[in-house]
Amino acid sequence: MKTKFLTIVAGLAVFHAVAQKKRDYPIQPVAFKHVHVNDKFWAPKMEVNASTTIPYTLQKCEENGRIDNFLMAAHEIEEVKLSQFTFDDTDVYKVIEGASYAMQVKKDPKLAHYIDSLINIIGRAQEKDGYLYTFRTANAKKPHDWVGAKRWEKEEELSHELYNSGHLYESAAAYYEATGKRKLLDIALKNADLLVRDFGPGKLQIYPGHQIVEIGLVRLYRITGNQKYLDLAKFFLDVRGPKGDPYNQAQAKVVDQTTAVGHAVRATYMYTGMADVAALTGDTRYLAAIDKIWDDVVGKKLYITGGIGATGAGEAFGEAYQLPNMSAYAETCAAIANVYWNSRMFQLHGDAKYIDVLERTLYNGLLSGVSISGDRFFYPNPLASMHQHQRSAWFACACCISNMTRFLPSVPGYVYGHNENNLYVNLFMANKADIKLTSGEVNITQSTEYPWKGHVKIDVSPVKPAVFAVHVRIPGWATNSPVPGDLYSYLTPTKGEVKLLLNGKPVVYKMVKGYAVIEQKWAKGDQLILDLPMEIQKVIANAKVKDDVGRFTFQKGPMAYCLEGPDNKDGLVQNILVSKDAKASAAFNSAKLNEIEEIFVEGTGTKRQIGTDELLQVNQKVVAIPYYAWANRGPSDMTVWIPYESAAARPQPAPTIASKSKVSSSLKNPRLLESVRDQYEPADSKDTNFPYLHWWPKKNTVEFVAYDFAEEETVSESGVYWYDDGPWGGCRIPTSYKVLYLSDGNWIPVEVLSDSGISKDKFNTLKFKPVKTKAIKIEVQQPENHSSGIHEWKIK
């Protein structure tokens, strides 16, 4: 323990010495404008973002009142109606940021003119002293509940005034760097100067309710060199806690936090800001805190897709090893923030393990957030589905959509890093880059078909011969470590070897923090060839992750895979069982889902039978696709984790009266209707691992669910399992309910013989005098102040 402590202290001392000297990250990224990606995987996705997603998002911002918010704040139009959320201003800022990045890659005069017009509108909405927050300045007749009576009054709660500022600053910095135009930057600096006047020691002692202003202030500091912006970023971190809400990480001073809690996006934006401030001030307390938090996330709270945030209750991190699949939240914004954070952690430490996490998130839980077409989106990214999840054209809370527009153009900026005469090759994608080292300029060219193939050519051509070190990342997944730590592992160790050649011959290199380091005098024409073993691997989770016990998932290279209904027998995947010893093969399919590599394996389809617990099993071919590509063909069955033990399987329902009926309800959502007869029994009333029907947000209404039989049936018993997510959710068991049957076109109440009553966490059984009918229904009286819901409804 003493040795470990001394090692930590020594490491912090080295960091402190470097930071004191440079007052910045020891390793700097190579800006994406110097990295020109031309591969077949990322280049088309960035083109779709530029040609489809950005224009689409701008259009949706117009249609959904985002632009009108600014026009109302500028008092240029009469009050129509402010949009739904006080942070909606940021959708405009983020799409401007994304457009700025995209225009650095490819000029677009028409888009540039439109963005300039938006910036003019934003400027006119700004108050004279720099305040910019449309929901207050518009002077709505009925102010939003989140807007306090005076500025900043509800900032620690839900006003999002400082959150809006943070995204404004990032947008302004991006536009200035892309175009050289100062108008949006001047708007941002005017707002930041207001914050400097209002907040700080001896002034307002308020922390941001939703973090990101810290990152934005650092960005302004980098552009202007003005210390006051960095000081304010540090103040906003230091003033947080210790008696606040864990939801927004205010339960302790930031330097005393050791585990990830609360809202996952807020948290990872904060950890990113802490990394920025640590790098720029040399304050090792921030570094020590985020190191511990990172270990907690990666060791206990990270999905195999790289997603974070297990629960929809607060869009938050769960407890250690709490990683449910069907109810996984794993918000797209959280994945993007996770990339930001891990990128900074690499810049601080120079360790490949951070890029391992970044890459896993990038190719899986982040990329899944946008459709192949670029105009449909996920907010949560679950790891299992039974038709209830589908991409949406827009969300009232559109943060994930606008966030994706700004992130995708910046992907090339994560490929390389540099530190004096050290060049880091972090990600593998075909590109050409120019990088400045202390010894001079180096031109790098990567040629590869990654992520489908592991062969990577790296041409290293300095303008003049020079001595420097090239650090080539050897991914953890290629050396039997799917992620750092023991949260996930391979069922069978990788057999292939990593091979690295220099000018066609094996090269002697040192392994340093996950990088193969080759230091020599480099000259034009030098070429490295990296071969990574692209084996199909079966990944298992730590036994403490109860949701994944008896299951594995496929992985090939950086890609996590899933089973999806359209590729498998009867459109079903929850019922599939695959032996952990089954041999899998892969094949590239250029005609499917914009080119993917599929995995094939033999498995078994399982089905329940009436009158016995023994399952009916039928052999079948099983197909897996990359996780990011799912839900591009309509609602479907999907699972990432595949059972290899029958106890973990979810068999196809037996042919009961209910399963053969047609379901109808006062609820019109067909995705939820099927859940009442799927024969998956919940662990308790608030269990969200399976689909369920609910009438939220309706309250104090009478609702119904009905089964229409194919032919007359004699029924005499009803069993219903209520959905109740109290005390925090909006659903409770009903005030009352009754069962009715159809007779001569009329609904008649059944004659009750026994009634178990209404209670949660078990089936409520009602036995009645047998009736012969073609339909039966239950009518539900919802509570006065809550909705109700149903997990399962059985009929006998």
State the angle between helix axes of 89-105 and 66-73 in degrees (0 to 180), rounded to the nearest 10: 110
| CA 560 to centroid of chain Cα atoms | 14
Asked if residue 785 is part of any domain, the answer here is yes
Asked if residue 21 is part of any domain, the answer here is no
Asked if residue 247 is part of any domain, the answer here is no
What was the pLDDT predicted at 701? 96
Residue 10 has pLDDT above 80, yes or no: no
Q: Are residues 688 and 623 in the same domain?
A: no
Domain range enclosing 89: 35-239+374-379+391-411
Higher pLDDT, residue 457 or 697: 457
Residue 460 has pLDDT above 90, yes or no: yes
Q: Are residues 525 and 568 in the same domain?
A: no
Rounded distance between C-alpha atoms, residue 456 and residue 558, angstroms: 14
Asked if residue 726 is part of any domain, the answer here is yes
Q: Are residues 588 and 674 in the same domain?
A: no
Query: Residues 512-532: pLDDT tens digits?
Result: 999 999 999 999 999 999 999
Q: Are residues 678 and 772 in the same domain?
A: yes
What was the pLDDT predicted at 283? 94
Angle CA 129–134–138, to nearest 5: 95
pTM of the shown model:
0.91
Average pLDDT over residues 723-747: 94
Rounded distance between C-alpha atoms, residue 168 and residue 185, angstroms: 9
Query: Which CATH number fits the domain that encloses residue 458?
Result: 2.60.420
Asked if residue 595 is part of any domain, the answer here is yes
Specify the long-range contacts of residues 618-624, CB closer than 8 Å, at least 24 apart. 620/568, 620/569, 620/576, 621/569, 622/563, 622/568, 622/576, 622/578, 623/563, 623/567, 623/568, 623/598, 623/599, 624/554, 624/561, 624/562, 624/563, 624/567, 624/584, 624/598, 624/599, 624/600
Count of C-beta atoms within a 10 Å radius of residue 161: 28
Length of the chain measured in residues: 796
Residue 3 has pLDDT above 80, yes or no: no
% residues pLDDT > 90 (the chain): 87
Higher pLDDT, residue 696 or 545: 545
Query: Residues 742-768: pLDDT tens digits?
Result: 999 999 999 999 999 999 999 999 999
Average pLDDT over residues 254-282: 98
192 Cβ contact partners less than 8 Å away, ≥ 6 residues apart: 130, 165, 169, 217, 220, 229, 232
Average pLDDT over residues 294-310: 98
What is the chain's mean pLDDT, rounded? Answer: 94
Distance (Å) of CA 65 to CA 56, 115, 264, 712:
14, 17, 27, 52
**Domain-ending residue, one of 480, 496, 531:** 531
**Domain-ending residue, one of 468, 502, 531:** 531
Asked if residue 680 is part of any domain, the answer here is yes
What was the pLDDT predicted at 22? 55
Query: Residues 600-650: pLDDT tens digits?
Result: 999 999 988 877 777 888 999 999 999 999 999 998 999 999 999 988 888
Residue 16 has pLDDT above 70, yes or no: no
Query: Residues 187-214: pLDDT tens digits?
Result: 999 999 999 999 999 999 999 999 999 9
What was the pLDDT predicted at 302? 98
Q: Provide the residue type at 40 as one letter.
A: K
Distance (Å) of CA 760 to CA 390, 718, 722:
29, 15, 6
% residues pLDDT > 70 (the chain): 97
Average pLDDT over residues 147-174: 96
Structural domains in the chain (count): 5
Query: Residues 554-591: pLDDT tens digits?
Result: 999 999 999 999 999 999 999 999 999 999 999 999 99
Q: Are residues 399 and 430 in the same domain?
A: no
Asked if residue 7 is part of any domain, the answer here is no
Asked if residue 406 is part of any domain, the answer here is yes
Q: Are residues 402 and 279 in the same domain?
A: no
Residue 733 has pLDDT above 70, yes or no: yes
Lowest-confidence region among 204-213, 386-395, 459-468: 386-395
Rounded distance between C-alpha atoms, residue 613 and residue 359, angstroms: 43
Query: Residues 433-442: pLDDT tens digits?
Result: 999 999 999 9
Q: Are residues 162 and 48 in the same domain?
A: yes
Average pLDDT over residues 271-286: 97
Higher pLDDT, residue 123 or 12: 123
Residue 5 has pLDDT above 50, yes or no: no
Which residues sit opposite 577 in a β-bridge? Answer: 604
Q: Are residues 769 and 745 in the same domain?
A: yes
Count of C-beta atoms within a 10 Å radius of residue 274: 28
pLDDT band at 19 (very low <50, low <70, confident <90, very high): very low
Q: Are residues 322 and 451 in the same domain?
A: no
Rounded distance between C-alpha atoms, residue 301 and residue 328, angstroms: 11
Tell me if 317 sits within 8 A of 261, measured CB to CB: yes
Q: Are strands 35-37 and 431-437 parallel, antiparallel or unpaired?
A: antiparallel
What was the pLDDT predicted at 658? 87
Query: Residues 128-152: pLDDT tens digits?
Result: 999 999 999 999 989 999 999 999 9
Query: Which CATH number fits the domain that encloses residue 721?
Result: 2.60.120.260
Q: Are residues 398 and 321 in the same domain?
A: no
Residue 775 has pLDDT above 90, yes or no: yes
User: Token match 């039978």: residue?
Assistant: 609
Q: Are residues 181 and 276 in the same domain?
A: no
**Domain-ending residue, one of 614, 648, 682:** 648
Helix or strand run (H / E) with residue 755: strand 752-755
Q: Are residues 755 and 680 in the same domain?
A: yes
- Check residue 749 and report its DSSP letter: E
Residue 15 has pLDDT above 50, yes or no: no
Average pLDDT over residues 729-741: 95
Rounded distance between C-alpha atoms, residue 535 and residue 775, angstroms: 53
What was the pLDDT predicted at 11? 45
